[in-house]
Amino acid sequence: MISAALQPLSAAGYRRHALHRGDRAWPETNCFVDLWIEVLHVFGHDALAALGCTLDLDFEGDQFTFFKQTYGDLAVLHGVDVQELSIWRPLHLHVEELVRRRRLVLAEVDAHWLPDTSGTDYRAQHTKTTIGIQAIDLQGERLGYFHNAGYFELEGADYRGLFGLDAPADPTRLPLYCEFVRLESLRVRPREALLELALECTRAHLHRRPRENPVARFATSFPETVATLGPEALPTYHLYAFSSVRQLGAAAELGAHHLRWLQPAVAAPLEPAASALDSVSLAAKSLILKGARAVSTGKRSDFGPLLSTLSTGWSTALDAAGHALGA
């Protein structure tokens, strides 16, 4: 019997949020942000409201902040109530209990067993990612889950692999981190009220932004990092680029969407800031490809113009947004 937190969803008939359809520079950002976009979408919430988190990005020396919708913002804007799941028995039994109680389970899992990652991680490598489990069939060994840019299903060997049902018992193995969402706490707010709440959340993020331009610091380190990587280190470059260039570009693109969505609540124009973020997003897309070519060929490359566009664009965008929002 299938237990589901929602009315049964069909992966085949699922219609993604508009942010995950159409022409975008970064159709997928990171697993947490994309998952929440889809979860909010399926519950009838406006997923653009909580994306002020893109505007306090910082550079941590070897990576940009792994930006996420904060649980504080999600609680204020949408009534989201997230609790940690204490795992004291096999995870699939916890999942069945919780989804039957109308809870969505957020679980760190191995993407090796996720069919939606076909072409990258699926049955090829082991990487950690987060999924939102909303349906499970213990007897039929089937699972329905949100991940990245959509809703998907898996079964059989993938189900058993995901939950480690065929693995020998290992008393030293620690469970991955899991949470659950109480769905009855969700509240869809009128658009005007949501805009006003989102405006305050975004101002708070802008107040927390780094005082010095983090992209300028990144621009100094990027050529040095690429120069240390030879052709044999291309996989390492892709890991580095995901944690740095991709996070910057994806945050800029979503930040631009968020500011345009927020405009009705703000008297000053936000388009200058949004347009500058667009320029950052596109330059990051070019940089990630140019860096890959430099590493794969072993030839030196001039990243200066792209890095200058990134640094100037981010500074322009954040200054303009801060001025318009009084932050």
| pLDDT tens sequence across 48-66 | 999 999 999 999 999 999 9
pTM of the entire predicted model:
0.94
Q: Which helix (H) or strand (E) holds 98?
A: helix 91-100
In terms of Cβ atoms closer than 10 Å to its own Cβ (0-12, 13-18, 19+), residue 222 is buried
**65 DSSP assignment:** -
Mean pLDDT of the chain: 95
**Nearest-angstrom CA–CA distance, 255 and 296:** 31
Please report the pLDDT score of residue 1 as a whole number.
59
Is 23's pLDDT higher than 90?
Answer: no
| Amino acid identity, position 70 | T
**Phi and psi at residue 163, to the nearest 5°:** -95, 5
| Amino acid identity, position 179 | E
Q: Do residues 176 and 101 touch, judged by C-beta distance below 8 A?
A: no
Of 73, 38, 41, 40, residue with least CA distance to 54 = 73
**What are 176-220's pLDDT values in tens digits?**
899 999 999 999 999 999 999 999 999 999 999 999 999 999 999
Is 99's pLDDT higher than 90?
Answer: yes
In angstroms, how far apart are the furthest CA atoms of the chain? 62
Please report the pLDDT score of residue 173 as a whole number.
81
**Nearest-angstrom CA–CA distance, 310 and 247:** 13
Band (271; pLDDT cuts 50, 70, 90): very high
Of 209, 234, 227, 218, residue with least CA distance to 307 = 218
Please report the pLDDT score of residue 114 as a whole number.
98
